[in-house]
Amino acid sequence: MLHIFPHWNWKPGQTIDVWAYYNNADEVELFLNGKSLGTKKKTGDDLHVMWRVTYEQGTIKAVSRKNGKIVLTKEIHTAGAPAKIILNADRSNINADAHDLSFVTAKVVDKDGNLVPDANNLIKFTTPGEGSVIATDNGSETDLESFQSTQRKAFNGLCLSVVQSTKNAGAIKLTATADGLQLSTIVITTK
């Protein structure tokens, strides 16, 4: 496991704390646009290390190593303008019992597929077929939109649609649209 946080869209010159979380390596080396910012080793029971980095647009990369050999590499790229929506269902097959659910994450990404961390596009969900959108959410504590709504503003580039089956087997075609973005469709099968 190797995760690096946070996103890499900031103001030039801003100082950012970059965290790398890992559990199966001895050390992590951090790079900014190909230049090493040093290698750090966890101490005690800590499963993370941190660097203070002066932001510049580009790519931040973490490389974890165990006994000198690379275990994992993770990269985060500066995102461009929002371009499209990507849908990802936690389950693509659900029961046709009018109770089963699939949780579908909608990500607003740039033309290269990078999550746009400050995207707040209003995403509308439609579901022709054997199911319906019963709830949406985005994790924002200040969003006053009803959970039962079929639309939701992205928060930090993300939102969620909860899809429920009917009692009829078939397919649920969930489509997510937003002004100015390429739409996305995913099919959830009900049996």
Digit-coded pLDDT (tens) for 127-170 = 988 999 999 999 999 999 999 999 999 999 999 999 999 999 99
Sheet of strand 35-41, all strands in order from the earlier edge strand to the far edge: 35-41, 27-32, 59-66, 69-77
Domains annotated for the chain, with CATH where assigned, are 2-77 (2.60.40.10), 84-190 (2.60.40.10)
What is the percentage of the chain residues whose pLDDT exceeds 70? 100
Neighbours of 16 (CB within 10 A): 17
The pLDDT tens digits of the residues spanning 92-122 come to: 999 999 999 999 999 999 999 999 999 999 9
Q: What is the pTM of this model?
A: 0.87
Tokens 């319906």 belong to 132
